[in-house]
Structure 1
Amino acid sequence: MKDYIVLDLEWNQSAGGKDEAVEHLPFEIIEIGAVKLNEAMEEVGEFKRLIRPRIYPELHEKILEVTHMDEKTLIQEGRNFEEAVKDFLTWCGEEAVFCTWGSMDLTELQRNMAYYGILNPFPKPFLYYDVQKLYSLLYGDGKDRQSLDIAVLEQQVMEDRPFHRALDDAHYTGRILYKMDFMKVREYWSTDYYRLPENKDEEVYLVFPGYSKYISRPFETKQDAIGDKTVTDLICCKCNRMLRKKIRWFSVNQKFYTALGCCPEHGHVKGKIRMRRCDDGRVYVVKTMRLVGEEEIPEIYEKKEETRKKRVEKTRVRKINKKKGDSPLS
């Protein structure tokens, strides 16, 4: 039987701002909270540890405001992170399926583990359930993300316990999982991006109802990434057929690229490439390929035309400025 581990973390950050932050560790975990659910999404256990801050011993004012923690309690009752995370992983067991509200907790857990030299036990790719995303798929448009407190009110699972403490938020997230029709959305896994594919053989291709996702290895530059054939291939998310592009890849802001292809069996497929930065400054790609209806196609053509006009205008301005610079009167 699977155990679903609903995890929530509280963390601190540099009270002196980014200039005084430790490189590659912007957030130091100060509390781990989790509940264990069985396959019926019933709560069968809980875990809580306060962690003594060592990297950022002074609590940031925003953390004090939101969590109402105090430094004295953390120092007196908190454990070392190494001890706390070891206890947590043992409590989780080997068959754990992780669930979080949002996409940051598992990344920050691994980042803190790496800082302390703790062996990362999680698989690659690391799949988990983002309950916030699942909630949007069931009760929203699948894009907008609702805050936990609003979801709790909407589902009428409010209890006499606060928000913004790790165990309490984990408990509320578990209650949302119990209330929702999980079977309708259980195929919509999320992928944690902290540990990326190290080479081409490890690159990830996942298939979901209606769309697919590709996660690349890191590239030195954006140009290297967009020049890779696997990155720019457009594939049908239903039959895995290589598609001829009706609209070639274009970008408005150099972070997102869009293309359109047509599968003779399943119809139009929209490709979207998102460029993301690794901690070491390199670039990796998350590409989604999604079936789209006829009503969405004009919007893609409009965006491409908008991009073309901006490019033409940018070229025109550059030529004017160059002429001004070449003028003997300038």
Structure 2
Amino acid sequence: MSDNPDARAVWQDFCQKLDTIGDLVRDAEFATETIDHAEGYRYLSRLARIALDMHVENADSDFPGFYAASHATAKIGADNPDNLYLNATISGERRYRISGEKGSVPILSFGSKANRYATDGTMASTGELDAADMQFAADGSFEIIASKTKANGNWLPLDDDSTMLLVRQTFLDRATEQPAKVTVEALDAPRTTPEPLTVRQLEQGLTKAAAFVEGTARTFMRWTRMLIEEQHNQLATVDQDMFQKAGGDPTIFYLHGYWELQPGEALVIDTKVPDCTFWNFQCDNVWFESLDYRNHRIHINAHGAKLNEDGTLTIVVAARDPGFGNWIDTAGHGHGTMLLRWTGAREHPVPNTKVIKIDE
């Protein structure tokens, strides 16, 4: 960074970095369809939106506020279509009060993270707190203290390198369940109001934003390449270490895979369903974005699924409804990634998978 940055030069540098990052999409050998390239560049634009929210608009850890880093039109790392994600920028050197109302959402959890997507593609957990382990008032209200030193009542641990709060809310039925209301404030901020934006702050924010876009894209491109080699039309990623290092929920067992179908084919997934607090399945594109769940049936959970007579589950991934099982729409894609989650389960069944012809 320069000693006396010029705002125009800072902007030009940011734009040039984004242009270079675009080569990742151009050079991705697994992006073999036209839709892959179109979605790839849109993916980078979405990552840029998230990064600007994270590192420019909400960068001040003394005055944090929650924003959504993954939602229907901005997605990272096999985002859960059944989740409402809330993020806030923090510092391990501060104490924070998180407060709100529980609502009726079935699963609510709070985590503190060391966000290193821009450097090594990890998001280490520095503290976890689940609603099942929290104290609530009779009206459903709550308070949590987030700090390095243990606090009375609901406490979310922080570490020296904690930089982010992550709130996950998981729905079975969004139409009927009420999300929690959550706010956050620093308890020991040395200032009473945020400082006006400086060119130096802009330079720092845009530099971090570009690094986040590149680091995040590279991380999940590596995942796609790994799944193509090891999980072709399979869901057997039983080693959870990589997923947890990238910020995965410690209560979830992740079964990631890569699917690829020719016209007229379907991927049939048969599995036992363990005793668990939640499960779902989703189809993603090659960039690890969930497919368009606003307009297509690309995911399913226990609320909408139909089980077989013996209690097992059959999921069918195909371009059209095959007339059996629980159909998941490929939404105009011929290949992509996929994910089955078991949440709060002691057993983690690995599904049986096979490709069949449905046009015959």
Q: Which structure: greater helix fraction?
A: 1
Q: Could you tell me the TM-score, scaled by structure 2's length?
A: 0.26
Bigger-Rg structure (1/2): 1
Q: Which gives a bigger RCO, structure 1 or 2 (Cα 8 Å, sep 6+)?
A: 2
